[in-house]
Amino acid sequence: MILEQEPVNEEALYKICFWTDFTGRNEESIRLHKSIIDEFPYSELAWFNLAAAYQGIKLYEKAIDAYKYALAIDEKFDYAYRNMGDAYIRLRKYKDAIEVLEKVLELSRPEEVIYEAIGYCYDRIKNYAQARFNYRKATHLNQGNSKLYYKIARTYMNEQQWTQAVKQLDTAMQINRSYPDYNLAMGECKMNLGETKEAIQCFSVVVRARPKSASGWEALICCLYIAEFYDEALEQVQAALKHTDNKPIFLYYYSAVCFASGKSKEGLLQLERALHRSPKLVKKFVGINPSILQNQQVVDLLARFRRNKKN
């Protein structure tokens, strides 16, 4: 009602942007701000609100165009740069996002969330050194945010720098020891460093915390398999099947463990069950032990299954 009488009332424009976001009435906001812009084309707040409403209904290209109009009117409008950065990230235009987010840092006080977002963009374009640089800048502003150290660790893991990753994960786990993702990552690092027992301990923490999630069970079973702890692996496969509602991936691991333990008949039976449930996952079965393709019974079963599928 205020904007009908005073279309460029600053306080009303600020407030209606907030309440549009809060209530999700974006289409209404688009109509309102288009009518204001028709009458007052140089209102940067009206352009900003129009952009935010487009962003609210995931029309990111239109949102970016509207933010550009707001910035053409006021080139120091840091919130427009900030929101535009988010829109570029949603469109996976990471280089554009970095450019506008760095503008935010020029115009306002440094913020953890902006450095983290820039780090994320560098992460996505696989520039891990720059990703780390920005994540570290974020940690300087908030040393208690364990997720930032985890993100730094992931960049090292992507470069297979396992020892460096462990140092960052140690810091993250000092802040939040039992968080499953940190233990999962630490387990992966320890496995690659040949520290199998420590890896098993980490993966065990994950499955206790998230018994219905397949990723923890998968990591634990693969670790036990590689370490040739076949009896324990078989126990964990059976537990995984129970907790994850018989996910077919674990039938493949069941089969792999049986073959490794010399129980070929049971291995073939489980492999056949797995193929009927999810044929695409056979690559995981082969991946854990590529030499299994030298077993003629396995090759015959896979060939027969392919023929039957075509028929």
Q: What is the pLDDT of residues 121-136, one digit of tens each?
A: 999 999 999 999 999 9
One domain for residues 2 and 102: yes
Residue 311 has pLDDT above 70, yes or no: no
Least Cα distance to 166 among 135, 142, 187, 197 occurs for 187
Same domain, 155 and 196: no
Percent of the chain with pLDDT over 70: 99
- With pLDDT > 90 as the criterion, what percentage of the chain qualifies? 96
Q: CATH number of the domain that 225 lies in?
A: 1.25.40.10
- What's the domain count of the chain? 4
Extract long-range pairs of 283-292: CB within 8 Å, 24+ residues apart: 284/249, 284/252, 284/253, 285/252, 285/253, 285/255, 285/256, 288/222, 288/225, 288/253, 288/256, 289/225, 289/256, 289/259, 289/260, 292/256, 292/259
Do 126 and 163 have their domain in common?
yes
Banded model confidence at residue 252, pLDDT cuts 50, 70, 90: very high
The pLDDT assigned to 16 comes to 96
Look at residues 88, 108, 128 and tell me which one is the last residue of a structural domain: 108
Q: Do 2 and 78 reside in the same domain of the chain? A: yes
Question: Is the pLDDT at 305 greater than 90, yes or no?
Answer: no
Q: Report the C-alpha dihedral over residues 299, 304, 307, 311, rounded to 10 degrees.
A: -160
| 187 and 145 fall within a common domain | no
- Picking from 108, 124, 157, the residue at the C-terminal end of a domain is 108
Residues 121 and 50 in one domain: no
Domain final residue pick, 176, 200, 221: 176
Rounded Cα–Cα distance for residues 169 and 187 (Å)? 10
Q: What is the pLDDT of residues 174-218, one digit of tens each?
A: 998 879 999 999 999 999 999 999 999 999 999 999 999 999 999
Q: Taking the mean position of all CA atoms in its chain, how far away is CA 155?
A: 13
Same domain, 69 and 155: no
Q: Average pLDDT over the chain, rounded to whole?
A: 95
pLDDT of residue 128: 98
- Cα 151 to Cα 172: distance, rounded to the nearest angstrom: 10
* Helical residues (DSSP H) of 125-213, grouped into ranges: 128-141, 146-158, 162-175, 180-192, 196-209
51 and 24 part of one domain = yes
Q: What is the pLDDT of residue 189?
A: 98
Q: What Cα–Cα distance (Å) separates residue 305 from each residue in 237, 282, 300?
A: 24, 11, 8
pLDDT at 208: 95
Same domain, 1 and 104: yes
Q: How many CB atoms lie within 10 A of CB 134?
A: 26
In which domain, by residue range, is 115 found? 109-176
Q: How far apart are CA 68 and CA 78, in angstroms?
A: 12
The confidence score (pLDDT) of residue 3 equals 94
**Is the same domain home to 12 and 98?**
yes
* Domain co-membership, 39 together with 102: yes
The answer to whether 85 and 67 are in contact (CB under 8 A) is no
For residues 127 and 227, give the distance between their C-alpha atoms in angstroms, rounded to a whole number.
34
Of 107, 29, 95, residue with least CA distance to 62: 29
- Asked if pLDDT for residue 151 goes beyond 80, the answer is yes
> Which is it for the CA torsion 37, 101, 141, 138, positive or negative?
positive
Mean pLDDT value across residues 22-50: 97
Residue 97 has pLDDT above 80, yes or no: yes
- The pLDDT assigned to 100 comes to 97
Do 79 and 23 belong together in one domain? yes
